[in-house]
Structure 1
Amino acid sequence: MSRIALGTMTWGRDTSAEVAAEQLAAFVEAGGTLLDTADVYCDGESERILGELIGKVVPRDEIVVATKAVARRHEGPFGGGASRGALLTALDGSLSRLAVDHIDLWQLHAWDPAVPIEETLAAVDAALASGKARYVGVSNYSGWQLGTAATWQRAAPGRAPIVANQAEYSLLERGAEREVIPAALHHGIGVLAWAPLGRGVLTGKYRNGTPPDSRGASPHLAPYVEHHRNERAARIVQAVVTAAEGLGTSPLAVALAWVRDRPGVVAPVVGARDTAQLAGSLATENLELPPAIRAALDDVSAIPFGYPEQPIG
């Protein structure tokens, strides 16, 4: 598995099928293998585009396909949620759109408080037993939710272990360090870090305004980016820019290398507007941050810990 995963959240809306094909080709050429999507990304278009490219751009057996279910796709009892019926219906839909016979990593997109976790996880076990999914992970779970799911699956032989948890994690969002990452480390679960570039803010592109071709200028993605545009973020971004200047590289590379090498992180999940932007992320593969720079970034982005939390690192 590559140290960087390719995210496809914008495929089918902000990223055309043609550009998606270029991105996938560049990603595979750079040694990338893990492709992450979800049944609700762009109303299913992300999965459909990826499905059209598998076999054309890259052989099926040379990539790891990861998708998600739980988020609501449409009204009705099987249109979303983590019930057995909804999950297995969602899985069949993903398989159809992706035009594959199995999902390599099937992820529960969110915790569903309306459904007993035993039912949710029994549906996961059924998916793996049928061969339609090979491994299972979760996404956006809190520490106690991750621990509950992982413990339940380990409590009896034959249950599918939780192997991955996808969480937002970057220099601007380190909340996962309080409980989520310690839980993942304890249970031997790999962390996939989404939004490792702070939703684009850590690239430094928003320091002097909002570029017209950026996600921050997009009506449907502006709130997503605005979440990390504040005074604290500005201080962290400046530190990243300073580090990049000292190393002769880009702020993007520094921010991505920092999260890539954090304890528990298997791979950051990066998305890109175009192939050139993706190339910037792929170029970080061999960048190792000097201890002094890593320590400085740790310090400027530090979050408070209190009883009974303990920081990692």
Structure 2
Amino acid sequence: MEHRALGRSGLFISEIIYGNWLTHGEGVERDTAAACVQAALDAGVTTFDTADVYAQGAAEEVLGQALKGVRRESLEIATKVCLPTGPGRNDRGLSRKHVIESCHSSLRRLGTDYVDLYQAHRFDDETPLAETLIAFDDLVRAGKVLYLGVSEWRAGQIAEALRLAGDLGLRSRIVANQPQYNMLWRVIEPEVVPLSEREGIGQIVFQPLAQGVLTGKYLPGEPAPAGSRADAGGRAPQFISRVLGDTLLRRVQELRPIAADAGLTMAQLAVAWTLNRPGVSAAIIGATRPEQVRDNAGASGVTLDAETLKRIDDVLGDLVDRDPAKTGKMMDVRPEWRASRS
């Protein structure tokens, strides 16, 4: 497993990050979740990503239990705050109240005294940005958070946060951005990536497999494979159905010979593609089985040559979305991506 610096910070993270959205606490039994975490550790993964809102806190609890007994200094644990975690009006957003309370709750569920990376899960238009940045800075000064990041923020929002942190004389600054990014969804490339590279912010990207579609296991005109996320319980099928259109699935199958020529599985090709993009520090993978973790981890250290990258672009062509105005939106805005069947 290769490690990379997170942006221009001094923190090194594993190229492959294990994440537990839609799995721990809702779509995967605890024993299986623990086995997946162990598979990640065995593969050399040291960085783990979660959020307070995942399964309403259960995902943090499951991850904390699975990592119990592992030397804390050998791990980089990341979590997030902003999305609703309860019925109260203050159980959401980036107010000082919610940020501080949510951090304390996350630390308790994870069973740790600090998190390595604390991320604003979304931008909060209802809270003064200065209030949020000061609350984050206070957590850093208290030793409960080591580094700060954001997720799915637009370039202008990130730029304003950096400017304001400087004006306020804060000790901490944003070093990470967690966007949705893969071969098909490249909306961060025109604006977010250039800004981040100038400012030393590393991208830790989620959905490198586009909800599993880029693994090639979903075939046009056929039902979802038994045991896949699209065939599972919980919320996973509603997200995956947005990218199961036959037009898209046929094009994905054309990537098979490219993966074969590179000596990679389809999943490894997709993950390696993100790791070969400018500004990317790591790719977050999710899994419902340990073998998926081992397969995805095989993308670490893989270099894709220019010809391979061009072949991928030639295959996907007009299906690729690079519209920066869609930053922060789910991958459901292209009609040709959507499933026409129920």
In the superposition, the TM-score normalised over structure 2's length comes to 0.85
Letter in 1 for 2:199: H
> How far is the alpha carbon of 1:78 from its aligned partner?
2.8
Structure scoring higher RCO (CA < 8 A, sep ≥ 6) equals 2
Within the candidate set 155, 159, 173, 2:171 is matched to 159
Matches within 5 A, 1:213-292: 213-219=227-233, 220-230=235-245, 233-234=248-249, 236-292=251-307
Letter in 2 for 1:239: E
Letter in 1 for 2:216: G
% identical equivalent positions: 33
Matches within 5 A, 1:74-153: 74-153=86-165
In the alignment, structure 1 segments of 5+ residues that lack a partner are 308-313
Q: Deviations over 1:164-192 (max 9, x none)?
A: 00000001211111222122112110001
Q: Deviations over 1:114-146 (max 9, x none)?
A: 111111111111111111111110001111112
CA–CA distance in 2 between the matches of 1:83 and 1:156? Answer: 17
In the alignment, structure 2 segments of 5+ residues that lack a partner are 1-12, 325-342
Q: Sort the Cα spacing of 1:304 and 1:136 in 2 relative to 1 into closer, same or farther, 3 A.
A: closer
- What residue in structure 2 maps to residue 212 of structure 1? 226
> How far is the alpha carbon of 1:237 from its aligned partner?
1.1
> How far is the alpha carbon of 1:236 from its aligned partner?
4.3
CA–CA distance in 1 between the matches of 2:236 and 2:43? Answer: 28
In the superposition, the TM-score normalised over structure 1's length comes to 0.92
Q: Deviations over 1:270-290 (max 9, x none)?
A: 001110111110122243223
Letter in 2 for 1:198: A
Q: Is the 8 A contact 1:204 1:251 kept in 2?
A: yes
Q: Secondary structure of 2:284's partner? A: strand
Matches within 5 A, 1:152-191: 152-191=164-203
Q: Secondary structure of 1:67's partner? A: strand
Matches within 5 A, 1:10-89: 10-56=23-69, 58-89=70-101
Count of residue correspondences? 307
Q: Is the 8 A contact 2:120 2:151 kept in 1?
A: yes
CA–CA distance in 2 between the matches of 1:200 and 1:263? Answer: 23
> How far is the alpha carbon of 1:50 from its aligned partner?
1.5
